[in-house]
């Protein structure tokens, strides 16, 4: 199948070709024709499957169709957007905005705005004053503009809820219902989510009309391009030694190291910077401008290591990420799937490594039950755990092909021998801002006061 066979107009086909794509992914092949027909869609697809284009292309088709029919969107006639895309995080808003500009490059006069928290209101208010083709927004900031009367949503023809499950996890369900109530009832609605069970499915039934269900690469299916490994650590010092060894491997092009809290992200980024790594932290407690600079540094390969929390890392799409390392385990099992999906993108292979202490055994079991697949355990020569691997209480039931590729228990050729495990230096929780082009800051080492706890 080709993109031409999906029924897209010539301007969009040209943009897709310019972006280097010749064939649609499975989710695009199913979702795009159905969306072009005006159907409401519930789409489940794994990260890196091309689901963003599966709703961006139909959205841009609506813009072109309206212009072809002579509908006027001039200032003073019709205010507000024609298409509204709601996303859970600022990073995902940036990713969707980038996709819109990429696929809409041949749409003359395309008007796109991004409305997210953490940035000044001025530019957003200016964008909202005139007509818009597409508005990409996080629910909280959009609610602010609705309350002030600046966001007019009476002319929205298409509503997209991207990663609806994550928006519900973040407590946006009431905001979503409030926003949807301000939209025309005759609109088309597209929703993407890792799962449509429970509250997400209930919300879909309330907001959609006879939706078509499209499911591609569910969480129980193998990520063929991602090899997984599980390293058991005796304690924090052992876990740090494992992480240090992995990051010295030549196979690491770029790595995302996940932590459980913002404080840990700052502390670990400081520690790795002092060791000489080109590293920066990324989490929700950082100003948006600094987060944008960090992401740009990652895309330009000025960063080799990114230390991130779950919320901040949603939407990161960088093909050069060869390794994902779970330094702190996720709060929910489904977040594990989103984490490892940061690697193995654009047809490349990737490695997902989980560093777990004995207290993490319960979460490891929940992850394996969620994916219905086992994470293969592995060891590093010279860094084998002293305590045996904890016996699982219940093995996950087999589900088709095993997750990932065969694994080699001897991760790399280096050996620490009798070298003691590295002690954890105390960080002050204040990570130095990353300056693109200047590399990572190097510290003089030494003890620092322990960081104060900060909200997640």
Name the DSSP class of 384: -
What is the token pair recorded at 442? 């190097």
Strand partners, 162: none
Check: pTM over 0.95? Answer yes or no. no
Sheet holding 350-357, edge to edge: 226-233, 350-357, 321-326, 254-258, 305-308, 279-282
Q: Which of 381, 333, 388 is nearest to 358 (CA)?
A: 388
Using an 8 Å Cβ cutoff, are 410 and 419 in contact? no
Residue (of 456, 229, 422, 223) closest to 324 by Cα position: 229
Q: Give the span between the Cα atoms of 222 and 206, in whole angstroms.
A: 32
Question: Identical fold at 3-216 and 220-449?
Answer: yes
Q: Distance between CA 217 and CA 202 in Å, rounded?
A: 22
Which helix or strand (DSSP H or E) is residue 224 part of? none
pLDDT at 405: 39
Q: Can you tell me whether residue 205 is helix, strand or coil?
A: helix
- Report the distance separating Cα 382 and Cα 377, nearest Å: 16
Q: Distance between CA 30 and CA 53 in Å, rounded?
A: 12
Nearest residue to 96 (alpha-carbon basis) of 131, 156, 138? 138
Q: How far apart are the first and last CA of the chain?
A: 45
- Residue ranges of domains in the chain: 3-216, 220-449
220-449, CATH topology level: Rossmann fold (3.40.50)
Confidence at residue 218, expressed as pLDDT on a 0 to 100 scale = 57
Residue 433: predicted pLDDT: 43
Instruction: Please tell me the distance from the alpha carbon of residue 297 to that of residue 187, in angstroms, as a whole number.
Output: 39
Q: Which are the contacts of 19, defined by CB distance < 8 A and separation ≥ 6? A: 102, 103
What is d(CA 249, CA 43) in angstroms, rounded to the nearest whole number?
38
Q: What is the pLDDT of residue 158?
A: 97
User: Any idea of the CA torsion for 115, 116, 120, 124, to the nearest 10 degrees?
Assistant: 0
Predicted pLDDT at 358: 92
Rounded CA-CA distance 440/315 in Å is 24
110-114, Cβ contacts within 8 angstroms, sequence gap of 24 or more? 110/60, 110/63, 110/134, 111/73, 112/136, 113/81
CA angle at residue 396 from 391 to 401, to 5 degrees?
125
- Structure tokens that stand for 114 in this block: 């991004």
Report helix, strand or coil for 356: strand
User: From CA 361, how far away is CA 232, in angstroms rounded?
Assistant: 9
Q: Write the CA distances from 451 to 245, 381, 383, 393, integer angstroms.
A: 25, 33, 28, 36
Half-sphere exposure of 339 (CA within 13 A, CB side): 32
Q: Tell me, what's the pLDDT at 71?
A: 57
Query: Tens-of-pLDDT digits for all 456 residues of the chain?
Result: 788 899 999 999 999 999 888 889 889 999 999 999 999 999 987 666 788 999 999 999 999 998 875 555 444 345 679 999 999 988 899 889 999 999 999 999 899 999 998 888 888 998 888 788 999 999 999 999 999 999 999 999 999 999 998 898 888 999 999 999 999 999 999 999 877 888 888 999 999 999 999 988 655 555 667 899 999 999 999 999 999 999 999 999 999 999 999 999 999 999 999 999 999 999 988 887 888 899 889 989 999 999 999 876 666 778 889 999 999 999 888 788 888 888 887 668 899 999 999 999 999 998 988 887 889 999 999 999 998 877 765 444 444 433 343 333 333 333 333 333 333 333 333 444 444 444 443 333 344 444 444 444
Alpha-carbon torsion 112, 114, 115, 121, what sign?
A: negative
| Residue written as token pair 């092949």 | 29
Give the Cα separation of 61 and 72 in Å (integer): 16
What is the full DSSP assignment across 139-164? HHHHHHHHHTT----TT--EEEETTH
Yes or no: domain 3-216 corresponds to CATH 3.40.50.300: yes
Q: Report DSSP state, residue 442.
A: -
Contact 193, 345 (CB under 8 A): no
Strands 188-192 and 226-233 turn out to be: unpaired
Q: What are 5-12's contacts with CB under 8 Å, separation 24+?
A: 6/32, 6/33, 6/36, 6/57, 7/32, 7/33, 7/36, 8/32, 8/36, 8/57, 8/61, 9/61, 9/64, 11/64, 11/106, 11/107, 12/57, 12/60, 12/61, 12/64, 12/103, 12/104, 12/106, 12/107
Q: Which two tokens stand for residue 317?
A: 């799409």
Residues in the chain: 456
């Amino acid at each position: 199948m080709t993109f031409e066979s999906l029924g897209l107009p010539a301007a969009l086909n040209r943009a897709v070709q310019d972006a280097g794509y010749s064939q649609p992914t499975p989710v695009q092949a199913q979702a795009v024709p159905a969306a072009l027909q005006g159907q409401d869609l519930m789409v489940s697809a794994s990260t890196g499957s091309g689901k963003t284009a599966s709703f961006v292309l139909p959205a841009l088709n609506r813009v072109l169709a309206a212009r072809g029919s002579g509908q006027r969107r001039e200032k003073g006639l019709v205010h507000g957007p024609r298409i509204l895309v709601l996303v859970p995080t600022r990073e995902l808003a940036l990713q969707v905005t980038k996709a819109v500009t990429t696929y809409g490059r041949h749409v003359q006069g395309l008007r796109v705005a991004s409305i997210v928290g953490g940035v000044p209101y001025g530019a957003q208010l200016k964008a909202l004053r005139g007509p818009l083709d597409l508005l990409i927004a996080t629910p909280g900031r959009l609610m602010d503009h609705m309350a002030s009367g600046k966001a007019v949503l009476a002319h929205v023809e298409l509503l997209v809820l991207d990663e609806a499950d994550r928006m519900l996890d973040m407590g946006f369900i009431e905001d979503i219902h409030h926003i949807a109530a301000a939209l025309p009832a005759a609109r088309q609605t597209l929703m993407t989510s890792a799962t449509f069970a429970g509250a997400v499915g209930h919300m879909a039934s309330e907001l959609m009309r006879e939706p078509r269900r499209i499911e591609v690469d569910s969480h129980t299916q193998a990520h063929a391009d991602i090899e997984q490994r599980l390293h058991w650590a005796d304690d924090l010092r052992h876990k740090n030694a494992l992480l240090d060894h992995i990051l010295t491997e030549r196979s690491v092009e770029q790595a995302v190291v996940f932590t459980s809290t913002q404080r840990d992200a700052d502390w670990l980024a400081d520690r790795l910077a002092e060791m000489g790594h080109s590293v920066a932290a990324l989490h929700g407690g950082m100003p948006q401008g600094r987060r944008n600079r960090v992401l740009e540094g990652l895309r330009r390969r000025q960063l080799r290591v990114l230390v991130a929390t779950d919320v901040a890392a949603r939407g990161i799409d960088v093909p050069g990420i060869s390794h994902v390392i779970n330094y702190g385990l996720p709060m929910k099992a489904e977040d594990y799937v989103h984490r490892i999906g940061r690697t193995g993108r654009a047809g490349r292979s990737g490695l997902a490594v989980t560093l777990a202490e004995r207290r993490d055994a319960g979460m490891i079991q929940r992850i394996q039950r969620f994916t219905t697949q086992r994470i293969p355990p592995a060891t590093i020569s010279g860094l084998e755990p002293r305590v045996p691997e904890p016996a699982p209480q219940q093995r996950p039931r087999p589900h088709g092909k095993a997750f990932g590729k065969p694994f080699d228990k001897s991760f790399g050729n280096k050996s620490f021998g009798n070298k003691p495990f590295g002690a954890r230096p105390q960080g002050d929780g204040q990570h130095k801002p990353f300056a693109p082009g200047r590399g990572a800051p190097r510290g003089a080492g030494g003890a620092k006061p322990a960081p104060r706890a900060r909200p997640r």
